[in-house]
Amino acid sequence: MPEIAFVNGEFMDLSDARVSVEDRGFQFGDGVYEVVRCYHGVPFALEEHLRRLERSASGIELGIPEETRRLGELAVEALRRSQIAEAVLYMQVTRGWAPRNHAFPEAAKPTVVITVRPAKPAPPDRAALGVSVITVPDERWLRCDIKSTDLLPNVMAKQKAVRAGAFEAVMIRDGAYVTEGASTNVFAVKDDAVYTAPEGPRILSGITRAIVLGLAREHGMPVVEEFFTPEFLARADEAFITSTTLEVVPCVRVDGRPMGDGRPGPLTHVLASAYSAEVTKRTA
Ligand code: PDD
């Protein structure tokens, strides 16, 4: 099963893929990206990811080249060539190669990269035991809705979690309210209602988030898209995080203290199962 890359018009082995050291993605984090999970050779929610990539590109005034308009087809072709059934598809578009200068280059052509790698299977006890999270200050800019490759604050936050022996860092804006995780959206369950931060410039509008909220509504759970405090999260009946690669993961401890009864909650379990069923339905 070859790990495949597509770089500026050509498919190749991932180990042979190269971009310039003067690429603006490398020097400035001047690019946008998407991560798509593929199940038995079928990309899940590809259209939603491509639409978000277009929104991110337009958010940084990056004109989408013709090649990028065909990104969906190219991604499917990369996946086919890799023959990896359970894959993570990564797509990145940067402002391209140019001699270093902060302002946009006049004539650079966007760099388009796609990679396909095997998805890491989740540890079998993660769903049953849940994970720990810590809270950290949200030190990002105020366009978190743009899925930018410039992820330094997220990287720093995730590393704090790793050092603390936790799975995810939950970011707190202005010491006041929960926005999202370093690479996930964050949910609390209280009195059978599902709470999560609203869409807008303070969070990435997760594709998994949208699907899970739809499933919650289908299951008759009230959904509250409002900011909540770290104290609300700590006192929630249940909590969970979502992302393309993780799906729905129960959280059982925050900053070292048990949440709810310290075990994954029943509504989290319902939503995780409903999400798996949705994946099966859409990739059949
Ligand atoms: N991360 N919030 C942030 C900051 C993220 O980086 C991600 C995804 C999410 C969840 O979005 P989605 O459900 O669309 O994957 C929320 C990806 C997986 C990553 O950077 O690897």
Q: Which of 118, 145, 176 is the last residue of a domain?
A: 118
Pairing, β 131-137 against β 247-254 = parallel
Q: Model confidence over 45-100: pLDDT tens digits? A: 999 999 999 999 999 999 876 766 799 999 999 999 999 999 999 999 999 999 99
Do 237 and 109 reside in the same domain of the chain?
no
Do 78 and 201 reside in the same domain of the chain?
no
Pocket test for ligand 1, best of 47, 138, 203, 204 (most atoms within 8 A of CB): 204
109, 120, 147, 158: which one is catalytic?
147
Q: How much is the pTM?
A: 0.97
Q: How far is the CA of 107 from the centre of ligand 1 (A)?
A: 31
Q: Which of 58, 92, 118 is the last residue of a domain?
A: 118
Do 163 and 99 reside in the same domain of the chain?
no
Cβ-based neighbours of 241, under 8 Å, separated by 6 or more: 131, 133, 168, 181, 184, 185, 186, 187, 248, 249, 251
**Host domain of residue 69:** 4-118
Rounded Cα distance, 207 and 50, in Å: 11
Pocket test for ligand 1, best of 33, 183, 278 (most atoms within 8 A of CB): 183
Do 110 and 164 reside in the same domain of the chain?
no
Instruction: Report which protein residue has its CA nearest ligand 1's atom 2.
Output: 184
Q: Which of 67, 91, 118 is the last residue of a domain?
A: 118
Annotated catalytic, 158? no
Q: Model confidence over 190-229: pLDDT tens digits? A: 999 999 999 999 999 999 999 999 999 999 999 999 999 9
